[in-house]
């Protein structure tokens, strides 16, 4: 298990260990400024080569809001798994989303910064306040709940 008290960044190779997602569905590139499972910042470098830009929208590429929400959930999931997996493979399932708001389009070339702050934990269920920014502009926000389980579905 990684010592999270001194870890400042989770890079892509560590994300592969913590999350089951792979291209094209791994939507964060690294996690920075992490403090245990209480807060973290995820980074997503948005590039034109991503498959959703072919159809969303031709000539006016915009990152789908649902993928911004998924990037938020993956940031939450990675820090929960990093802190609570105790060296064993665990899965973090997205449970709920509340208060989602999209304020500005995210386009290729943007660096999406996802800030998550833990609101509550009850057993293996976690609730996070999430915001996404591009530069100084808030582009999205939501409150996300997730549950950590072992891969067989036993919590």
Backbone angles phi, psi at 33, to 5 degrees: 55, 45
The yes-or-no answer on residue 137 being catalytic is no
Distances from the Cα of 106 to the Cαs of 45, 72, 75, 148, in angstroms? 11, 14, 18, 29
CA distance 10 to 15: 7
Is residue 71 within 8 A of residue 44, CB to CB? The reply is: yes
Q: Which of 56, 84, 133, 137 is catalytic?
A: 56
H or E, element range at 114: strand 111-122
Give the residue numbers annotated as catalytic, written as ranges: 56
């Amino acid at each position: 298990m990684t010592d999270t008290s001194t870890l400042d960044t989770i890079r892509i190779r560590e994300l592969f260990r913590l999350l089951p997602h792979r291209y094209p569905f791994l939507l964060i590139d690294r996690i920075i400024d992490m403090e245990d499972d209480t807060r973290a910042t995820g980074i997503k470098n948005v590039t034109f080569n991503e498959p959703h830009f072919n159809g969303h929208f031709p000539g006016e590429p915009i990152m789908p809001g649902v993928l911004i929400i998924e990037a938020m959930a993956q940031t939450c999931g990675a820090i929960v798994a990093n802190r609570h997996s105790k060296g064993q493979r665990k899965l973090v399932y997205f449970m709920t989303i509340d208060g989602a708001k999209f304020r500005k389009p995210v386009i290729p070339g943007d660096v999406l910064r996802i800030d998550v702050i833990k609101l509550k934990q009850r057993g293996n269920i976690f609730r996070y306040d999430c915001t996404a920014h591009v530069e100084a502009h808030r582009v999205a926000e939501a409150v996300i709940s997730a549950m950590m389980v072992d891969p067989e579905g036993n919590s």
